[in-house]
Structure 1
């Protein structure tokens, strides 16, 4: 992701590079011109130094000839050394145009030095000394004239260069103007593109914010960039999605509350009708008690006990199903139910109990064990001609109480187990209380607020084991 800071640095770098290239090109061109110009000036200076050195040496020679003092002699020696040094420098001025003239020029300088050396070894007033002194003056005049000729030749030789400098100066001014205009145009275009890459995403984000302010949460927020603004747009879009989901949840919640209110009204009506319908079960309950007492008085104690068990089971089933009871109560109901079923199946049905009495006070939803036992009787014991055995184990597992209901019937398939644990109603034949196995699973999970409260282990032909994990801390038991 390219940040805005990186874009600014890139743009600044491009500007600096362009300006640096222009500056380097102009500096290089100016450097080449300056080098050549300095070379020409240096040639003029060398020729000028030769003329000055020759004049100085003649002046010092005349002073020495007039007064032969050590001081004047030293000045003459210094002037002569300067002339010799200038003579060697003159070789730098040589070219094809002035080769012949420069050779003579160098010979004149050598002749002047030789004449001065010869003159310094003669008597001042001798005829030869006067002649050599005149000769030095004549040579000096030749050197001055030839210096002017060489300078004039240099001027003529480098005249095209001077003119080219003037012309190039004019062209350079034009080139500079065009380069400034072109660079300014490129910078304006680059600045516009750079500003557009920042302002365009900001405008898109502003437009999206305006749409959200109007309550339009369905339009996706997209910003075509690769910087912090794109990240901000993605975050803004996530916020839009969350707000939209929240609004939908609020609408669904309002809908559910409305449906719940309607269900409460229907529940009140249902309770009223249920109160009316309880007249017949209570009448049946009272009738069973009357028959039980009559059978007892007539000596049919087994029939009397059976009628008492049916009456107690009916009384237990008439209570509200959403209340909680103790495990002891559930086991008593299971015992009464098995008494009724044993009257039907006689010795074909056996019940074995392995109960830890310290676990009987835990809370459990009403009508939990009896539907499981009933399912075992109908689907495991009844189809088997030789009957079967149902075993109930109650164990203390420290954090929870484990209730294990085991039968030796035909078992059940994985598909059936999955349907039961997924709280789907399984269509089966047989008699029941109307409270299916799947409903028991659902009520247990709602009551304990966890999904691992029940487990089924079974396979076809090997019986079934139902494991219940009943937490010890569940609250009070409601009668």
Structure 2
């Protein structure tokens, strides 16, 4: 099976091969032309170097004749050595066409060197006149060398004129060839690239079209892609995924239908439970309350009785509201105070109620009918059985992240089994409660409302009273992870 990577590598190798062939051909041609051009230029430079060297020898020799010092003599010897080296370079330029001219040119250089040697020899034996004569002859030969150099260069130019014109013509032809070759290679590469890209993009387009159909929810269409590379495997995998998703959607729809029906049944059950709780006003409580009111009306005037009736009415009105809605601590404390007014009227001096409330946290939300059932539980189990009654302490304390609510009594306390039963939310007898809502029901609603188990704690020992502590977070974390500030 051909892979996309192989196709891309094949395209890259073809391009590199064509570029390498073109580069080698151009490099070979340029190098050959450059070598020929360098050879011709070297001939001109060598001939021109003869003229320069001969003139330098004349200059140095003149300086020595005027001032025959050792330094000037060394200058003359150095110049002569240089012209001898240049003569060797000229010898290498001899060919069939210029052999005669260059031979005469080299003989002229030899005559020049011999004349300068004789001038130095006469100067060394202090024959000044003979030395000057030889110097004059050397100067004349130097001029001949210059003139002959120009003649040879002119001859070389005429000889290589055709070569220069050939280079110019070849460059023009090579330029045209390069343009046509570039166009041909471009067309071939475009065709080859289009073929390669088509073998890649056509399956991708088919796969994209299938994906669009899936995005529209059409999971019943089969995905088929004609290809011999990885995209074919991808299409098959994609088709398997389509089948799995289609099966999963059918399963999810079936489960969703079942869950919807279950949720509806749950909601109906909760509504019926709430209505049942709201309707459970204990007759025994109403009897005791009305009996207390009748005795109070008999013993006292109508004003105090009226206040007591207002508290009862407010308590009943609050108890009949929906339990699935949250209320503030402020509302709960008002109802708790109304309830305690009724109980204090009932128990008189047998009941002492102490409260310490931090007013800054009265806006925290809690489930409705939370505090009254807990305090009522303390009244029923700690105050009512005792002949001398007892005391109840109610505290609201502000913390950094939590608000603590404490309800404490000095009754006989609870057994460990009873505490476990309440905290495990096991149903209990709520007989005697004004609302019919027991302690375990309060625990359950608090945990559901705040979303964690550690919202309530009960500390009690038999014979030493009971303390119920509620730990209410200032920021309530709801199931959808939204956060609603409750205090400050």
- TM tier, smaller: 0.3 to 0.5
Q: TM-score, normalised by structure 2?
A: 0.46
State which structure, 1 or 2, has the greater radius of gyration over its C-alpha atoms: 1
Q: TM-score, normalised by structure 1?
A: 0.47
